[in-house]
Amino acid sequence: MKRLLAVLLLLVAGQLQAADFDYRLAAVPVAKDVYTFIGKTEDFTTGNGGNIVNTAFIVAPQGVIVIDSGPSLRYGEQMRRAIAAVTAKPIALVINTHHHPDHFLGNQAFADVPIAALAETRDGIAADGNAFAENLYRMSGDWMKGTEVQLPGQTLSAGIVDVAGRRLRLVALDGHTGADLVVVDATSGVVFAGDLAFNGRAPTTPHADVAHWLKALDRLEGLTREAGFTVLLPGHGAPSADAGPIRQTRAWLTWLSAAMRDAAKAGLDMNEVLARPLPAEFASLPVAASEYRRSVGHLFPAAELQALGAKP
Amino acid sequence: MKYPLTIAAIALAALMPPAEAAALRESGDPLDSARWSEMQKAFLAGAPVLFDPRVKVIAPSTAENPMQVPVTVDASALPGGAEVVVFADFNPIVQVLRFFPEGAPAFLGFRVKLQQSTPVRAAVRTADGVWHVGGTWVNTVGGGCTAPSAAGGSKEWQQRLNEVSGRQWSEGPNAGRLRMRIVHPMDTGLVAGTPAFFLEEINFADAAGKRLMRVQTYEPVSENPVFTLQRTSADGPVEATGRDNNGNAFTARIDQ
């Protein structure tokens, strides 16, 4: 009976924990004055509330630079409180690396400060933001309560910028989406790779151009070879002191695009492509099976067009 | 409804493996859909029904893109299938397509637009008048039938309407396979201001003019349809002919 009660109590406690909508964000230092909040290497669920993404901030001389704002209003608010626990400096700028919802739907919590992104990212958020948010409501449930799209008000372009007394190098790439911003913090040597790099989690491809992405990975790997490089922060998965996540992402994309091409050439129907087993190299990678299935939907039709000799 | 044969006799006559024979049933929708009885009335009126594992409907349990949900119907293990009707219980337009395997096995791959989570079913009529039914549930976030076609966003399709590309495979594990794509918006008529505009009929015939398959397509078939057929042997080119509901016709030769 006691054991039963204990189990019941645990169940209730578990419910409470899920119901308090606390992401339990903990700022992890990756370099001097540079911190990250590490998300889980999972899919969006009502359990994780969409905390599957890495966000970050730099404590600059005159203020805080935030890189990506997370999947919801609640996340943005909690992130802001967690930043305030580290530094009393005001937020100087929020940067959205690309137009995927887990990277910008926390913007509302920063509506009183400048929010900036590449032009194509701003356009993407304006065009697809609401549909993305609706989809996250479906997948993450009440964690999303009150979340609405807050457009970045400022446009970034590639080059060296000075933000709050810190020199940042903005590198405009593409391939994961139509515009993927990489931020290089020269002072700390941290490279914020956004979703061009995944670490220990299968990459997502809903807006991917794989050929462009592979080119972007070469540029990104070049950045990790520059003098002063210390840490690569991927959009998903653990930070890395080397180009490991870039190589992982490249290996997945190279295999994936070859698999689509070969399947189309062999005359497979889409359901047969979906049913193919993953190679041993990738089978144990978190969410590999579900991302593979999604990627077949995203990438197989183009491979099929080519195999059938159709004009794109 | 009384059958000409008992289920046990059917299983025995078809030499079905015990697991498959055990899955045969005359009543009680295995997919437990609230609309099954309506579906039965609409498509299989009055005829005997047998839920039959030899009618395989393959589709992802969760569809990533509700505009392009891949469906493969494989009833080639059921001898004597004369007509196959494919429908989705909870789609606003329920009937997806109908095909008549003649010189080709009862195998057809295609893609559909789904508006919400639904069973997708195939019913195969055999010469004895029995409908053999198979199906699977597809979960989707939906919106596939009321979202505008990509063609709606540009005028390019007008120049390329009914443009056919395709190939046959004569060697390897997929010998006998034919895959074909047709440029067509396949508008459902459920998008405001865009009338229904869709392919209605496609015929496949071999080099000798013998028909392999006739396919009647309806609005839910996805934009720019892609079909997969399986011939018993890849024997020369295939001629595909068809037309849409506005009378636009096409003829194309699909080589190996």
Q: Residue type for A56, please?
A: A
β B211-217/B95-101 pair status:
antiparallel
Lowest mean pLDDT among A150-154, A266-270, B154-158, B199-203: B154-158
Residue B176 has pLDDT above 70, yes or no: yes
Q: Is A311 on the interface with B (CB under 8 A)?
A: yes
Q: Residue type for A249, please?
A: T
Phi, psi of A181 (to 5 degrees): -95, 130
pLDDT band (50, 70, 90) for residue B22: confident
Residue B238 within a domain: yes
List, as own/partner pairs, every contact residues A42-45 make where C-beta atoms lie below 8 angstroms and the sequence separation is at least 24, other chains included: A42/A286, A42/A287, A43/A139, A43/A287, A43/A290, A44/A71, A44/A102, A44/A136, A44/A139, A44/A140, A45/A139, A45/A140
DSSP one-letter code for A199: S
Closest residue of chain B to A139, computed from CA coordinates: B141
Q: Is A212 on the interface with B (CB under 8 A)?
A: no
pLDDT mean across residues, chain A: 94
Phi, psi of B85 (to 5 degrees): -115, 135
**Domain of residue B61, residue span:** 7-254
Q: Is A173 on the interface with B (CB under 8 A)?
A: no
Q: Where are the alpha helices (DSSP H) in B78-235?
A: 156-160
CB B174 to CB A268 under 8 A? yes
- Position A15 scores a pLDDT of 47
Closest residue of chain A to B69, computed from CA coordinates: A297
- The label of the residue with tokens 């002191």 reads A241
- Position A4 scores a pLDDT of 52
pLDDT band (50, 70, 90) for residue B144: low
Adjacency order of strands within the sheet including B69-74:
B56-58, B69-74, B107-112, B226-230, B177-182, B164-169
Neighbours of B1 (CB within 10 A): 9
Mean predicted confidence (pLDDT) in B165-174: 92
* Nearest CB partner across the interface for A293, out of B64, B167, B172: B64
Taking the C-alpha atoms of residue A224 and residue B197, their distance in angstroms, rounded to an integer, is 53
Residue B16 within a domain: yes
Q: What is the pTM of this model?
A: 0.90
CB B72 to CB A308 under 8 A? no
- Chain A residues with CB inside 8 Å of B111's CB? 270
CATH number for the domain spanning B22: value is 2.60.40.2470
**Between residues B138 and B7, which one has the greater pLDDT?**
B138
Q: Which residues touch B143 (CB under 8 Å, ≥6 apart)?
A: B66, B115
CB A271 to CB B179 under 8 A? no
Q: How far apart are the first and last CA of chain B?
A: 47
pLDDT per position as a tens digit, A119-155: 999 999 999 999 889 889 988 999 999 999 999 999 9
Q: How far is B4 from chain A (nearest CA, A)?
A: 36
Q: Domains of chain A (ranges plus CATH)?
A: 21-243 (3.60.15.10)
Q: How far is A173 from chain B (nearest CA, A)?
A: 26
Would you list which residues of chain B are within 8 Å, Cβ to Cβ, of chain A?
58-60, 62-65, 68, 70-72, 109, 111, 141, 160, 163, 165-167, 169, 172-174, 177, 179-181, 183, 226, 228
Residue B157 within a domain: yes
- Chain A residues with CB inside 8 Å of B177's CB? 267
Environment class of residue B249 by beta-carbon count within 10 Å: exposed (0-12), middle (13-18) or buried (19+)?
A: exposed
H/E run at residue A292: helix A288-307
Count: domains in chain B = 1
